Amino acid sequence: MKMPIRIVALLVLSFVVLHAQEKGVFKDPRDGRVYITVRIGSQTWFAENLAFKAASDCWAYDNQESNVAKYGRLYSFETAKKVSPPGWHLPSKQEFEILLQHIGGSGLHAYEQLIPSGNSGFAGLFGGFRTTRFEYQGRIGHFWSATEINAGSAWYLGITSFIPDAGISILARVKDSHNKVFGFSVRCVKDQENPRKHKTK
């Protein structure tokens, strides 16, 4: 029996993603915390949420330090741009798009690849977010990009278990037209992976 071309393509893609993983570790010299890293295509990513404690606009979910070990910290946009360790940076929208392209695009397939049980190795955690309160830990993960939309908002990678779905700013229904003050998670990407890494528009 012949398999549909789309199913064959997805199986091949999953095999390639699974076997292309190159895992490592990185020790943050600022606090000694060790992170798992993963190479996905041409990029090397943290496979965990950043947990470095910044001086301001940085929160543990529900203000409970016990949440940091698994989910990392939440950061405002301005803090997120400055909090990556040496040799790493906050990814641009373009760098998130490269990640999505490598795993086959956005939507359900991206969700299945990006969550902890997915084959990509990204292991996207549902760290929730902070607006005027903390919300949706265990259900939603928002990851800042360094790319601004306007004076009050910036792009982010969203992963949600509600639908399930994943993509760039997929949760437009959330009132995030001024989201820079919100607390989102941070995933760092390694420097020199993309020669245009400083282009954030």
Q: pLDDT tens for residues 59-101?
A: 999 999 999 999 999 999 999 999 999 999 999 999 999 999 9
pLDDT at residue 3 above 60?
Answer: no
Q: What's the angle, vertex CA 131, arms to CA 125 and CA 136, rounded to 5?
A: 35
Q: Are strands 129-130 and 43-46 parallel, antiparallel or unpaired?
A: unpaired
The β-bridge partners of 40 are 43
4 versus 119: which is more confidently predicted? 119
Q: What is the pLDDT of residues 171-198, one digit of tens each?
A: 544 456 689 999 999 999 999 844 444 4
Q: What is the pLDDT of residues 18-61, one digit of tens each?
A: 444 699 999 999 999 999 999 999 999 999 999 999 999 999 99
User: How many helices and strands, by DSSP H and E, does the chain display?
Assistant: 5, 12
Report d(CA 68, CA 171) in Å as an integer.
Answer: 24
DSSP letter (8 states) at residue 2: P
Report d(CA 20, CA 103) in Å as an integer.
Answer: 11
Neighbours of 85 (CB within 10 A): 18
Nearest C-alpha neighbor of 79 from the set 113, 56, 105, 109: 56
Cis peptide before 29 (omega within 30 of 0): no
What's the token pair of residue 193?
């992976």
What's the token pair of residue 24?
């490592």
